[in-house]
Amino acid sequence: MESHFFLLRCFLLLASAACSLSHPSLLGVHPLDEKYYSSEVIKCKDGSKSFSKDRLNDNFCDCPDGTDEPGTSACSAGKFYCRNLGSKPQFIFSSHVNDLFCDCCDGSDEYDGHIRCLNTCVMGGNAEIGNYNSKLSQQASFAGKVTKDEVKYEDLVHNLMSLRLAIILQVVLLAFIVFLWRFGCRSRSKRRRTIELKEI
């Protein structure tokens, strides 16, 4: 009976790890601020108000300083954090989010699907300003070519990656359960042999 509780605890631990790995981090939030946004009631950084977690990035400005809208353009005073992996991370004004211009070299500020930003972080990203106008014209011509099918394809790829992670975790969990079951069978058979030897 005790081994069943142990298996249940292991399953719950692995399931919670799978859930935490499958959800992406908060959009537009600096990694050091993610803990700040983890509680159910979040206080505006200027201390003026509080808001519930479900009102985070809901495209309505509740805090005068933009604390509640780091990932949208609803608050003019807000800041959006560009992770820019492969280049220098930076903050941009939230008003630049989904404005049809790629401000982050990783394109994370244009997530609504109206424009598709190329990830230029590895190629120098936003540190290279020399070809800015040519990049804008390329992006504007490329934006017209993005179709709903391409956006659906990207969503499908993202969902498949999450599904792959879930399947891998389930296989590992199943192997762990089989290992524990085999270990329990061996220990019971050793106890039986010990008892039989004592009786003889």
pLDDT in tens, 108-153: 999 988 888 888 887 765 544 434 444 444 544 444 444 555 556 6
35 by DSSP, 3-state: which?
A: coil
C-alpha–C-alpha distance, residues 163 and 16, integer Å? 15
Does residue 101 register a pLDDT over 60? yes
pLDDT at 174: 92
Span 26-36, pLDDT tens digits: 888 998 888 99
Min mean pLDDT across 7-16, 56-65, 85-94, 156-165 is at 7-16
C-alpha–C-alpha distance, residues 135 and 84, integer Å? 17
pLDDT at 149: 57
pTM of structure: 0.50
Q: CB of 121 within 8 A of CB of 138?
A: no
Give residue 158's pLDDT band: very low, low, confident or very high (50, 70, 90).
low
According to DSSP, residue 52 is labeled E
Q: CB of 27 within 8 A of CB of 71?
A: yes
Sign for the CA dihedral angle at 136, 137, 138, 143 comes to positive
Min mean pLDDT across 80-84, 104-108, 146-150, 192-196 is at 146-150
Give residue 41's pLDDT band: very low, low, confident or very high (50, 70, 90).
very high
pLDDT at 127: 43
pLDDT at 80: 93
Higher pLDDT, 9 or 200: 200
pLDDT at 15: 47
